[in-house]
Structure 1
Amino acid sequence: MIQEEITMVSKTMLAAVLLCAMGSVIAKNIALPDNVTLRPGNMSGDYIDAVTLSVPGASFSKLKLCLAQNVSNPAVSVTGGTDAPLAFRSNQQTQTTTVQGGGIFKYEDAAAQTAIVMGSIDGGPAMMSREIIRFELTAVTADEGTALKFNNIARATENTGVVSNAGFQPVGAWRGAKPLAVIDALSALGGRVGSCLR
């Protein structure tokens, strides 16, 4: 009887320790601006779902012009090591994958004054390479203002050397995922569109 009680107490304590340990691993999101919404992610935290901005209003034709002048959708090539085990030798194999680009306009509705564009921007340095951010941008304009909403946001490193390159992945909201750099890059693009609309 005493042995069963000790075993029960041990199991309860172990469960409490495991819950505390899991709690320290889960949901490590950093504080983000109010214009950022999140979606469920993984054990490290959530993913960025959308970034919204308000910029000056304009006619639909001017909105389309400003989007065309500021958003581009080029093909993006990412390079990394093959799945072979890492080895420090001169003949390490790499592979390159290309994500096709194309026209930026995915949807246009003049009556609703709405356009959806696809694009990519430079996300800044990543070790000895660069990061690329891909996105969709929904723009709805009116006289009183234009709403910009970036979603389907993903990021990739152009070249990971001999390490395997996972390509475009969702952007995490935790510190190690550097979400503020992505938010800043998208906000800067939104600012350029807004300046064009003035």
Structure 2
Amino acid sequence: MKKIILGTLVSIALVGCVQAPIQLPSNVSTISMQTGGKQTQIDKIDESFISNRPVDFDKLKICGVDTFSNNTVTLNDTSGSFVGAYTGIYYQKNNTQVVNGSNSIKYIDDKNHMVVFTGNVRTKPQVGGFVIDIIQYDVKIWDEQGKTRLVFQNILRAQKDSGAVANNGFNPIGTWSGSRAPVAIEALHGLAEKFKSCVNGN
């Protein structure tokens, strides 16, 4: 029964795709969705900051490794489950897809003091605690005349367990009401704050 309820809640959440766009923080940039129309999706999130002391490039790399993780993710749904017409019994079909993790360091340019990490992070529970999203991202970090540039890009979202609705994996994050963009932005901001705290620490 919980799976049926979850699927219903997900279906209700999807209705958000026809609603008006939401107000986004100024550090979030958007692009038009590839599906066409007037809807937009999150493109980049700029979490750049000025450190309270000069930062060595090795420090940026170490703090990045400590902050950004590319974990193996398991996505679930129960699409295809049904209630027997004659028995009234609920027959649950559990579907899973595994997205393997890897090294979080995607690219390093020691000459230009630039590093790119790839990773994922869970959002806090939403929709009455039934929905948890996994946010996948790249984060590009470099020094720019004493300013630490930190920009999230290639941002995608997948629902960890979509209940009775088929789980279609990682997709761009829309910016309309009901798209759950704010919690994704919040999750990535939390990572940026952890990185900033490491860089400014001892």
Q: TM-score range by the shorter chain?
A: 0.7 to 0.9
* Shift, 1:142, TM fit: 4.4
Percent same amino acid among aligned pairs? 28
Aligned pairs, number: 172
- Secondary structure of 1:124's aligned partner: coil
Where in structure 1 do 4 or more consecutive aligned residues deviate above 3 Å? none
Separation in 1, partners of 2:195, 2:144:
15
Q: Is 1:79 aligned with 2:92?
A: no
2:27 to 26, 29, 35: 35
* Shift, 1:75, TM fit: 0.7
- Structure number with the higher helix fraction is 1
- Secondary structure of 2:42's aligned partner: strand
* Shift, 1:161, TM fit: 2.3
Which 5+ residue runs of structure 2 have no aligned equivalent?
Answer: 1-16, 84-88
Which 5+ residue runs of structure 1 have no aligned equivalent?
Answer: 1-24
- Secondary structure of 1:97's aligned partner: strand
Separation in 1, partners of 2:149, 2:93:
46
Tell me which structure has the larger Cα radius of gyration. Answer: 1
Q: Deviations over 1:109-149 (max 9, x none)?
A: 11111000100111111442421111000001246221111
Q: Which amino acid aligns with 1:157?
A: Q
2:44 aligned partner: 50
How much is the aligned-residue C-alpha RMSD, in angstroms?
2.0
- Structure number with the higher strand fraction is 1
TM-score of the pair, normalised by structure 2:
0.78
1:116 aligned partner: 116
1:135 to 129, 137, 158: 137
* Shift, 1:173, TM fit: 0.6
Separation in 2, partners of 1:160, 1:93:
13
TM-score of the pair, normalised by structure 1:
0.80
